[in-house]
Amino acid sequence: MSRDFRPAPEHRRIVFLTGAGLSARTGLGQFRGPGGLWRLEPELEAAMHGSALPASLPLLWRVWGRMARIAAAHGPTPGHLAIARLGAPVITQNIDGLHQAAGSADVSELHGSALRAVCLDGCCDWSIPLSPGEGDRAEDHGAPAQCPVCGAPTRPDVVLFDEQLPGAAIDRSLRLAREAELFVVVGTSGAVLPAARLAPLAREAGARTVLIDIDPPPAAGLRGVFDEVIRADCHDVLPSWERARRGVADNPFLHPF
Ligand SMILES: [Zn+2]
């Protein structure tokens, strides 16, 4: 365990892999856990499978629209902002658009985005950005109900439980992992996919691998995956990295993230 690790000058190519923990303080942390939205609405769990389409569309529009509005209302966290200011590419399991809102230009969304509509026909590549609202129709979120190209229903571009991850995002993630000099996992367990695959890949390709987690899983599960495990709040750690890289004194009074 190390709290003092910081990127070194030779770590020019930093790549982040992020998960739900990074967005937890926006209120989205309540989405899945005890007392969370899924617990309040048990039928939602069933609707989160591709096999429930298209009957599940009204529920998906309502739930992902609400989730996207919660995220947008809160805005990016100190961790999101620090990652963007470090100029590092991001691989994310999050669908809340907060990396883009923070200013990150290179974001690979492994689970899609609640801020985009796509066509229900998997062979049709129509898509548009959404303006999430309130309601269970596509129109409530700024999308037409039918795809203007092929006429199929539209849907939120969120990957459901039994659906494949988007190939382009997977390919980009694998390339980023191989090219990284420092591979940093934040807000997701290092022991589950895709972190369990990407972090070892980055390490084999020569990267130093780091997990930032306020309550990391038992060390045995991390051995062989991470060179450094930082047991701390990512919203403290990442801004301190960003300040150090800019050569600014690490004074939280001057930089009250
Ligand atoms: Zn279409």
What's the 149 CA to ligand 1 centre distance in angstroms? 5
Q: pLDDT (tens digit, 9 = 90+) per residue, 74-96?
A: 999 999 999 999 999 999 999 99
Q: Which of 11, 99, 111, 235 is catalytic?
A: 111
Write out the two tokens for 176: 């980023």
Q: Is 234 annotated as a binding residue?
A: no
Q: Which amino acid is at 242?
A: E
What's the 56 CA to ligand 1 centre distance in angstroms? 18
Catalytic annotation on 111? Answer: yes
Is residue 30's pLDDT more than 80? no
CA 196: distance to chain centroid?
A: 16
Residues with CB under 5 A from ligand 1 (ion): 119, 121, 124, 126, 147, 149-150, 152
Integer angstrom CA distances of residue 240 from 50, 133, 195, 202: 41, 36, 24, 24
pTM, full prediction: 0.90
What's the 153 CA to ligand 1 centre distance in angstroms? 8
pLDDT band of 257, cuts 50, 70, 90 = very low
- In this structure, what DSSP letter does residue 125 have? -
Write out the two tokens for 168: 């382009």
Q: pLDDT (tens digit, 9 = 90+) per residue, 95-132?
A: 999 999 999 999 999 999 999 999 999 899 999 999 99
Calpha distance 189→132 (Å, rounded):
29
Among 225, 251, 34, 54, which Cα is nearest to 136's? 54
Q: Is 123 annotated as a binding residue?
A: no
Domains and CATH numbers, the chain: 14-254 (3.40.50.1220)
Calpha distance 15→4 (Å, rounded):
19
Q: pLDDT (tens digit, 9 = 90+) per residue, 140-190?
A: 999 999 999 999 999 999 999 889 999 999 999 999 999 999 999 998 876
By the 8 A CB rule, do 199 and 183 touch? yes
φ and ψ at residue 6, rounded to 5 degrees? -140, 155
